């Protein structure tokens, strides 16, 4: 085992390398009280699934281990009862298919553990340097779309790693370790972001697993797991996976925490050496990788799924962002008992499934009141919505996520920018990436941004991420979009142009905050190549102007239906209100309190020039008849029948841009590149 050189390694060394030994100190910690806990003690409590939360001092979180997301109604009733009586009645389904219990005190831990043990649950090894909850297809053994039922291999691996009382052999890893074991063909788990993923494969007439290794989220971004080029049969899967974990335990880096994942050992060793080490430890040869049998499509298992078992179906419910109250969990358990056989499955999308429902009972289940809160057929903006814990309870989060995620999805429903296909929209409150924001169509990562001299909650925006056989890491296109009223319009515009944004590529020579649409669109083809700065991740939108001179009457189009440069920041700062022409339209652009607004230049009442009007309390006042129009929405205070068309405007690298998309234009935006006007 490599020597360690960080504070967590020192914590473990103090307990002989076994964080589970903190259990023996629990009575002392309870007697002393939470105020006296040292940083080391707070970290060590995570080995037993107990988490100190800075946002709620004195109120802890417990992560309950639920391999494969399998649960029973009796277990949910117990969790709900404990949450009501000892916690704050707030529960979360996580992206690792388990439940987080919140709001309890240090003194209540022994009683909670006793209640959980009574229903075959525990919280051991769910945090810090352990193999976290094992993920698998929630419909394992039920869905007809699986090569085989992989859950027995998964549960055998959990027995080896943790068992019912913890296993010190696997409690001193260099850092956390994520594993997925699945036989599902529909990519319902995030295999490519796992340290180890066993995925369904066929080698000749044999069915089993291909092994992917070295995936991760956070610690520098989404690293896509690589094939180890071995095929293993289901009965040997647990042993092989456990041996790979031992290799990581013995040889993984233990210095800088951000460099302690399996991906970095592979970076140092290479896949060939890892494979050779595994073969040597197993004492036998391994077959080369088989044919990956997974489909290109992705499933969330919501709605009605016909099971293998004739006459039975599974019903998947959308639990928005995975958050539910204790009473809702009790009701979910009741429905599982009344309509199914008392079983419940949780998904990596933070949703819940009641399986084994007789077909003739489906209509009755759909009529239950809980389904108005947890629909089986949600809108495209809620169906695949995921959000991490956020600042409500997380020590690391930079912004509140769950409430904002719900609000954004509701706003997107009103904007009606979907083609009807569900979008994966994932929120992470910080770079740790617990919301898997780089594995989604639209990913939002929380940041804090200085806008107009004020530090505000904002998000970096990513597009084009996905897991599966053709996994892609989402690319950042926007650096710091404030979480204000304009955010839905910003994301709406991105959704409408999603395929174009997905083509964005990085150019190492480009400035990091600049985003360019790849050459190939009609207007790029017509632009002289020496005008292009390059391609890279963006803070706001697009820039293809390299000359410091600028003629506001002949703007350079950046990309069709996206953004057009209209003037310089200095010009707008000096004049405050300017008139420009964009594709034959006359626009008025305003600078107000560090924000930029754009609208049609002619008043819809009598065509007066609005750039000559005055700005009062967020409204432009027409210079001719005094009609008042809100700069954010275009609504007319004077005559409700009139509306002024407004546009998304922003500043970037000394220039001002306007999005002149005709439909669902963004109503306002901050100077997102940090330009103070």
Q: ∠ at Cα 533 (527, 535), nearest 5°?
A: 100
Phi/psi class of residue 146: alpha, beta or left (left: φ > 0; alpha: ψ in -120 to 50)? beta
- Residue 663 carries which DSSP code? S
The pair of three-digit structure tokens given for residue 203, joined into one six-digit string: 């080698």
In the set 188, 434, 544, 567, the catalytic residue is 434
In the set 12, 21, 63, 254, the catalytic residue is 63
Is 63 labeled as catalytic in the residue annotation? Answer: yes
Q: Can you tell me the distance from the alpha carbon of 211 to that of 501, in angstroms, rounded to the nearest whole number?
A: 32
In the set 42, 96, 176, 254, the catalytic residue is 176
Q: Can you tell me the distance from the alpha carbon of 110 to that of 162, in angstroms, rounded to the nearest whole number?
A: 19
Nearest 5°: phi and psi at 614?
-115, 150
Residues 518, 500 contacting (CB under 8 angstroms): no
Buried b (16+ CB within 10 A) or exposed e, 625-650: eebbbbbbebebeeeeeeebbbbbbb
Is 453 labeled as catalytic in the residue annotation? Answer: no
Is 667 labeled as catalytic in the residue annotation? Answer: no
Is 388 labeled as catalytic in the residue annotation? Answer: no
Q: Can you tell me the distance from the alpha carbon of 32 to that of 335, in angstroms, rounded to the nearest whole number?
A: 42
Q: Can you tell me the distance from the alpha carbon of 410 to that of 418, in angstroms, rounded to the nearest whole number?
A: 12
Is 175 labeled as catalytic in the residue annotation? Answer: yes
Report CA 656 to chain centroid distance, whole Å.
Answer: 31
The SS3 call for residue 642 is coil
**Residue with tokens 């710091």, as numbered in its chain:** 480
Is 433 labeled as catalytic in the residue annotation? Answer: no
The SS3 call for residue 153 is helix
List the alpha helices (DSSP H) in 99-233: 109-117, 151-161
Report CA 261 to chain centroid distance, whole Å.
Answer: 20
In the set 290, 390, 435, 613, the catalytic residue is 435
> CB count, 10 Å around CB of 499?
9
In the set 21, 46, 96, 175, the catalytic residue is 175
In the set 429, 465, 492, 613, the catalytic residue is 429
Q: Can you tell me the distance from the alpha carbon of 605 to that of 625, in angstroms, rounded to the nearest whole number?
A: 9
Which positions are catalytic? 63, 175-176, 429, 434-435
């Amino acid at each position: 085992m490599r020597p360690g050189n960080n504070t967590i390694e020192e914590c473990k060394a103090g307990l002989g390398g076994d964080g589970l030994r903190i259990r023996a100190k629990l009575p002392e910690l309870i007697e002393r009280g939470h105020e006296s806990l040292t940083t080391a003690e707070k970290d060590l409590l995570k080995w037993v699934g107990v988490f100190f939360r800075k946002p709620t001092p004195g109120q802890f979180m417990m992560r309950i281990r639920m391999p494969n997301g399998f649960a029973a109604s009796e277990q949910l009733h117990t969790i709900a009862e404990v949450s009501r009586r000892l916690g704050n009645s707030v529960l979360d389904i996580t992206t690792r298919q388990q439940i987080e219990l919140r709001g309890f005190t240090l003194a209540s831990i022994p009683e909670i553990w006793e209640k959980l043990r009574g229903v075959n649950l525990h919280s051991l090894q769910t945090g810090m340097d352990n193999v976290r909850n094992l993920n698998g297809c929630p419909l394992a053994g039920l869905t007809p779309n699986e090569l085989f039922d992989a859950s027995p291999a998964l549960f055998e691996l959990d027995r080896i790693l943790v068992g019912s009382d913890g296993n010190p052999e696997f409690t001193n890893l260099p850092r956390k370790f994520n594993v997925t074991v699945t036989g599902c063909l529909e990519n319902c788990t995030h295999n490519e972001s796992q340290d180890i993923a066993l995925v369904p494969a066929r080698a000749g007439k044999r069915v089993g697993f291909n092994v992917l290794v070295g995936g991760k989220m956070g610690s520098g971004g989404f690293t896509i797991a690589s094939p180890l080029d071995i095929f293993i049969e289901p009965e040997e899967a647990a042993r092989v996976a456990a041996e790979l974990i031992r290799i990581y335990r013995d040889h993984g880096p233990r210095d800088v925490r951000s460099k302690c994942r399996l991906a970095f050992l592979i970076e140092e060793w290479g896949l060939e050496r890892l494979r050779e080490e595994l073969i040597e430890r197993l004492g036998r040869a391994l077959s080369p990788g088989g044919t990956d049998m997974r489909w290109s499509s992705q499933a969330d298992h919501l709605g009605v799924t016909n099971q293998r078992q004739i006459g039975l179906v599974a019903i998947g419910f959308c639990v928005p962002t995975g958050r539910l109250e204790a009473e809702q969990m009790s009701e979910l358990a009741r429905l599982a008992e009344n309509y199914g056989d008392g079983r419940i499955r949780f998904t990596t999308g933070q949703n819940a499934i009641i399986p084994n429902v007789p077909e003739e009972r489906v209509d009755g289940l759909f009529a239950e009141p809980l389904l108005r809160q947890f629909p089986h057929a949600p809108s495209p903006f809620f169906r695949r919505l995921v959000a991490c814990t956020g600042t409500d309870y997380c020590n690391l989060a930079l912004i509140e996520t769950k409430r904002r995620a719900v609000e954004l999805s509701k706003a997107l429903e009103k904007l009606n920018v979907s083609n009807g296909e569900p979008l994966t929209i994932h929120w992470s409150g910080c770079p740790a990436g617990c919301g898997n924001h780089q594995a989604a169509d639209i990913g939002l990562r929380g940041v804090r941004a200085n806008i107009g001299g004020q530090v505000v909650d904002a998000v970096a925006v990513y597009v084009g991420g996905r897991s599966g056989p053709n996994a892609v890491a989402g690319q950042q296109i926007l650096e710091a979009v404030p979480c204000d009223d304009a955010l839905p319009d910003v994301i709406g515009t991105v959704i409408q142009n999603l395929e174009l944004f997905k083509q964005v590529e990085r150019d190492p020579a480009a400035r990091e905050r600049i985003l360019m649409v790849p050459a190939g669109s009609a207007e790029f083809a017509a632009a002289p190549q020496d005008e292009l700065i390059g391609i890279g991740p963006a803070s706001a939108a697009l820039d293809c102007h390299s000359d410091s001179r600028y003629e506001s009457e002949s703007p350079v189009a950046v990309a069709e239906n996206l953004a057009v440069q209209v003037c310089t920041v200095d010009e707008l700062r000096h004049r405050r209100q300017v008139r420009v022409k964009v594709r034959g339209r006359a626009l008025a652009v305003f600078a107000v309190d560090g924000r930029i607004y754009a609208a049609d230049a002619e008043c819809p009442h009598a065509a007066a020039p609005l750039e000559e009007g005055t700005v009062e309390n967020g409204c432009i006042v027409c210079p001719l008849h005094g009609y008042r129009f809100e700069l954010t929405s275009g609504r007319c205070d004077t005559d409700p029948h009139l509306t002024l068309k407004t546009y998304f405007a922003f500043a970037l690298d000394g220039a001002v841009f306007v999005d002149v998309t005709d439909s669902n234009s963004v109503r306002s935006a901050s100077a997102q590149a940090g330009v103070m006007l």
